[in-house]
Amino acid sequence: MMRLFLQQAYTEAGHGGNGAGVVVFAEGMDEATMQAVARDVGLSETAFVTGLSEGAPTIRYFTPVAEVDLCGHATVAAWTVMAHLGLVQPGRHRQGLREGDIGVTLDDSGMVWMEQKAPAFGPILDPVRVAPILGLSVRDLTATGLPVQPVSTGLMDIMVPLPSRDLLEAVTPDFDAMAAFNNATDTVGFHLFCLEPRDPSHTACCRNFAPRYGIDEESATGSASGALAACLWVNGHRRQRYVFEQGHAMGSPSRMDVILIGGNGVPTGVTVGGYGGTPVEKNRLLPPSS
């Protein structure tokens, strides 16, 4: 029987995080029904899980307006729900996607680690084109010496370095212009960051905007966290483990841990981890036939 949960993911000390819908045993849903449920749930993504009876879950991800290939926080949310229901056990698993599959590890503490693709780097963008979209100056975007560049470890987001947390928190994008730019460059969103986190043990503080997919801002973005770690690595900011904070501007602080795999140059793989909160069941949001 289909069941729908609302689940926080990438929580910080059990609080905050980014909410996702999770539907388990979604075999009876077609694409139009999944999209309608995601719209009614109204969170940045809803995950639809099938294949549990065969022990090989496949997950599809829908924003309120469209399907996307991958979503980090909805992956953490889905595996947290599956573990809560006793449908999966700690260990390394394979998870099917709309295209291909990925590795997911559930550790004994309940932390979910999602393996992402080897990073791909798009062309460096001219700050003159990007600055007006963010209401910033060209100098703001060049102050760190890091590039404004699309990077993907599953989804292509534009990495935007800023010199201070005050500036990061003050950004008010032109969402229409942002969505148009993402559409023109075939990118998902903008991932803004500064190397001035609130917690000095963390690596960076971030904000993520994806109005092209109906998400003005979200409080935790696992896919972009993997891309950001790769961006920092190739630009000389190398760590054994990256820890990114996000969501403070939305009142929902979140934490994403990232470990890069292999190579002294471009990493060959990326793993992003985080914790989920306690699932809340909301079956009333499912269609009556469910």
Angle between helices 175-185 and 127-134 (to 10 degrees): 150
Q: How large is the C-alpha radius of gyration of the chain?
A: 18
How many Cβ atoms sit within 10 Å of the Cβ of residue 150?
Answer: 24
Task: Please calculate the CA angle 5-36-41 and round it to the nearest 5 degrees.
Answer: 35
Active site residue 45: yes
Q: How wide is the angle at C-alpha 103 spanned by C-alphas 149 and 42, nearest 5°?
A: 65
Q: Which of 27, 31, 45, 169 is catalytic?
A: 45
Q: 183, 176, 180, 206: which is closest to 193 by C-alpha? A: 206
Q: How far apart are CA 207 and CA 198, in angstroms?
A: 13
How far is residue 235 from each of residues 163, 207, 265, measured CA to CA in Å? 15, 20, 10
Distance of CA 100 to the CA centre of its chain: 18
For the annotated catalytic residues, the residue numbers are: 45
